[in-house]
C-alpha cells in the first residue's frame, strides 16, 4: 500500500483507540457509521454532477475514510481488516474479468456487461442455501434507496425476459396507473390505497427511465435543481416588487412562475 494509505489506516486506528483516541470515533458502530457512508457516496455523486474535480478529490477521501472506518471496527472485533477488504475486491475483479486476466474473449462493452452480470448471477446462485428457492432478484439489497432498488429489480427481471418491449408500452402503462389514481382520489379512498397507487406510478416512471436508457435518480436531481433555480428567481422577482410569496398569493405566483419558466427555457 502507498504511504498515505498506510497513514490513513494508522490515523483511524489512533482515533478509535480507547486510550487517548477521539471519544466520538470510539463510540461509533457499524450501524451508526452506515448513514454517513451513504451520505458520502451521494456527495461524491454531487461533485461529479457539478464537474467539480477539486471537490471530488475531497469527497472521495471522505468516502475512502468510511471504508477504513468500517475496516478498523471489524479489525477490533477480530472479523477482518482493510487488507481483507482490498483482497476481496481484487479477487472479485480478477474473477469477473477473465478476458483480461484469463483466456476468455470479450470484445465489446455490451458483451462485458452481459458476462459480468452472468458471473454475478452464478456467484449469487452458488451462495443460495436452497437452489430451489433461488430467484433472479436475489441480492438486491433492501436498504438501497427505493428508486435505486426499483431500477435494480427491473433490470434483474428484464434479464430473464420479464420486460416491456419498448418505452411506448411503459408510457401507456403510466397512463393506466394515472387513471387508477384518479379513480381512487375521486372515490375518496384512504391513504393506504392512494399510497399503493402512487407507488405503482413511481415504479412505472422508473421503468420508463430505464427503457429510455436514463437514470431516474439523475433526472429527479436535475428536476430538483431546475425547480430550485426557478423558484429562487420567482422569489427575487417578488422581492423586487416588495412582496413575499405569502403576500403575493397563489394566483400571482402562478402567473409569475409561467414568466420565469419561459425566460429560463430561453436561457437554458
Same domain, 77 and 43: yes
pLDDT of 133 reads 67
pLDDT band at 127 (very low <50, low <70, confident <90, very high): low
Judge whether 118 lies within some domain: no
pLDDT band with cut points at 50, 70 and 90 for residue 141:
confident
Asked if residue 77 and residue 37 are part of one domain, the reply reads: yes
CA dist., res. 63 & res. 75, Å (int): 19
Residue that finishes a domain, picked among 95, 116, 148: 95
Residue 43 belongs to some domain of the structure: yes
| 26 and 73 part of one domain | yes
10: domain CATH number is 1.10.287.1080
**Are 80 and 151 within one domain?**
no
Residue 33 domain-assigned (yes or no): yes
Q: Would 111 be classed as within a structural domain? A: no
If asked whether residues 168 and 184 sit together in one domain, one would say yes
- The answer to whether position 142 is within a domain reads yes
- pLDDT of 106: 77
Instruction: Output b/e per residue, 90-121; b: 16+ Cβ within 10 A.
Output: eeeeeebbeeeeeeeebeeeeeeeebeeeeeb
pLDDT, average across residues 115-120: 69
* Mean predicted confidence (pLDDT) in 9-13: 97
User: Could you tell me if 157 and 221 lie in one domain?
Assistant: no
Residue 35 lies in a domain: yes
Residue 245 contacts residue 253 (beta carbons within 8 Å): yes
Q: 207 and 140 share a domain?
A: yes
Res 130 pLDDT > 60: no
- Residue 74 and residue 40 share a domain: yes
- Is the per-residue pLDDT at 125 higher than 70? no
Q: Are 46 and 36 within 8 A, CB to CB?
A: no
Pull the grid cell for residue 253.
405566483
Q: Evaluate if pTM is beyond 0.85.
A: no
More confident: 115 or 90: 90
Is the distance from CB of 13 to CB of 71 less than 8 angstroms? no
Domain match, 141 and 77 both: no
184 lies in some domain: yes
Residue 245 is assigned to a structural domain of this protein: yes
How many domains are there within the chain?
Answer: 3
Q: What angle in degrees, to the nearest 10, is found between the helix axes of 3-15 and 53-76?
A: 60
* In the predicted structure, residue 129 carries a pLDDT above the cut 60: no
209 and 233 share one domain: no
Query: 259 lies in which domain range?
Result: 217-267
Is 106 in contact with 115 (CB distance < 8 Å)?
yes
* Domain identity same for 91 and 15: yes
Residues 182 and 223 in one domain: no
Section 5-30 average pLDDT = 96
Residue 90's pLDDT band (cuts 50, 70, 90): very high
Amino acid at each position: 500500500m502507498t504511504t498515505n494509505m498506510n497513514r490513513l489506516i494508522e490515523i483511524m486506528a489512533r482515533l478509535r483507540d480507547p486510550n487517548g483516541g477521539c471519544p466520538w470515533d470510539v463510540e461509533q458502530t457499524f450501524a451508526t457509521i452506515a448513514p454517513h457512508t451513504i451520505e458520502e457516496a451521494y456527495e461524491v455523486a454531487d461533485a461529479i454532477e457539478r464537474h467539480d474535480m477539486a471537490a471530488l478529490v475531497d469527497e472521495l477521501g471522505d468516502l475512502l475514510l468510511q471504508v477504513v472506518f468500517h475496516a478498523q471496527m471489524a479489525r477490533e472485533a477480530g472479523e477482518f481488516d482493510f487488507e481483507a477488504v482490498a483482497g476481496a475486491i481484487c479477487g472479485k475483479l480478477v474473477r469477473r474479468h477473465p478476458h483480461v486476466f484469463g483466456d476468455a474473449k470479450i470484445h465489446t462493452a455490451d458483451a462485458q456487461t452481459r458476462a459480468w452480470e452472468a458471473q454475478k448471477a452464478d456467484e449469487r446462485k452458488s451462495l443460495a442455501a436452497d437452489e430451489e428457492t433461488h430467484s433472479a432478484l436475489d441480492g438486491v439489497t433492501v436498504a438501497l434507496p427505493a428508486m435505486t432498488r426499483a431500477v435494480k429489480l427491473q433490470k434483474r427481471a428484464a434479464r430473464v425476459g420479464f420486460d416491456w418491449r419498448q418505452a411506448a408500452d411503459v408510457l401507456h402503462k403510466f397512463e393506466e396507473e394515472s387513471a387508477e389514481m384518479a379513480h381512487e382520489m375521486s372515490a375518496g379512498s384512504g391513504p393506504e390505497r392512494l399510497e399503493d397507487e402512487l407507488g405503482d406510478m413511481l415504479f412505472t416512471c422508473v421503468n420508463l427511465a430505464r427503457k429510455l436508457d436514463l437514470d431516474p435518480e439523475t433526472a429527479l436531481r436535475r428536476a430538483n435543481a431546475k425547480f430550485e433555480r426557478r423558484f429562487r428567481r420567482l422569489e427575487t422577482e417578488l422581492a423586487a416588487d416588495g412582496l413575499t410569496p405569502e403576500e403575493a398569493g397563489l394566483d400571482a405566483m402562478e402567473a409569475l412562475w409561467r414568466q420565469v419558466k419561459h425566460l429560463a427555457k430561453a436561457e437554458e
